[in-house]
A = this chain, B = another copy of it.
């Protein structure tokens, strides 16, 4: 558990300074720490265990779609990155370059992957022959580097961990369908495992991934009303497969270039969990990804039989749930309550001499602090039930925040007023011009999050220029 003298009083108030509150939680809950490699973090065991749970859940969902994992090189020869024009323009400013290795200057610079479309296409060209080989549904769990100027743990780090899926298909339709299938998988991961509601839609031209024909996104809303892009899925058409010569013999015996997708989620999701669910006592972790689902805290542990009974209770639960017991004798129960609340453990189980007499224990929910006295005979079933309830309640609380912070604006003054007062999502019509997008960003600090799949007609003209339009965009300030 590491040395820790944190108390809740050391955490910045969440309503006063959300950014500082966030950093406090990251550091004090021992999720991650700053390192001497500027802009790069160390993910500590408690933070990494959340990532492992996300990985396990996601990897299973990917494999259900027929996706297979592979491993591609970290380093990309500069000439390879340059093969697709829009892509290199998008990423060149933020790459890190290896120029020396093995004691010598390299003939060609090697780029640390910021993303791997180019490497996958280079190999796909080698591996693909016939339509019978298709689709290639490959993914890798790996690290990538983007030389960001301003960094924040999990949210924007120069190095981060992610998965990048890259698939090629024999037809545009199949590739487009798969792009949206993976967006649905992401929706499932974020809503079901992370208990965060998502807004699904397509990105505008200016917010697209560098080189994509279409970028789809799942957007989430944080406690403070700012938006976080939680995952994206891209359709590339033949934009990479033509320059990389990824072709196959189609069913008619003719050469055709393959149709491509890519999609990614990252350790950013840990940031989303913190900011969507946290409160003034610290983290609140959704049971499905919590490294510890229940913490047993013996009360009056020095009294005869308490530690023994608490251990027995722990032993009875540990096969089925992720459970730990806090037997540290240098701390009071009060200290431990704060300690595990800070770490967001969904259920605390208290057991003391009087409980033991009555064959019971007390369960305390982290989501709403409700205390429940439970007979030890019914404990196992009750814990399972409660974890499900907490998971659901956390989703509902997030949804309530999102709904409360979703507004409609029909002109720019209204837009500005709402975003300044309430942050959140602003639903407003958009004419489709980049000019209006830029102007809205300048005036309000909000960017287009997406053109949601569920379109509504909240007005009949662009919120900025007033031109007639049918397109609804959801806007918001972002992380």
Contacts and interface: CB of A to CB of B under 8 A. Distances in A.
A267 to B, nearest CB: 8
Contact of A145 (B3, B70, B74): B74
Nearest to A104: B147
Contact of A99 (B45, B52, B100): B100
A129 interface: yes
B40 A75 contact: yes
Interface stretch (A89-97, A213-221, A446-454, A462-470): A89-97
Contact of A68 (B45, B96, B109, B123): B45
Q: How many copies altogether?
A: 2
Interface residues of A, number: 61
Interface string A293-325: 000000000000000000000000000000000
Interface stretch (A130-138, A234-242, A276-284, A410-418): A130-138
Contact of A45 (B69, B80, B100): B69
A121 B253 CA distance: 60
Interface in A49-98: 49, 51-52, 68-77, 80, 92-98
A334 interface: no
Given A3-B129, A70-B43, A99 B102 contact: no
Contacts of A3: 127-130, 132-133
A42 B72 contact: yes
A129 B3 CA distance: 7
A36 B108 CA distance: 12
A71 B96 contact: no
Contact of A73 (B40, B70, B102, B149): B40
Contacts of A92: 103
A92 B149 CA distance: 29
A112 interface: yes
Given A71-B161, A73-B35, A127-B33, A93 B103 contact: yes
Nearest to A59: B52
Interface of A: 2-3, 33, 35-37, 40-45, 48-49, 51-52, 68-77, 80, 92-103, 109-110, 112, 119, 122-123, 126-130, 132-133, 138, 142-143, 145, 147, 149, 159, 161, 330
13 contacts: A3-B132, A33-B127, A36-B77, A40-B73, A40-B75, A41-B73, A45-B138, A49-B69, A99-B100, A100-B109, A102-B147, A132-B330, A142-B143
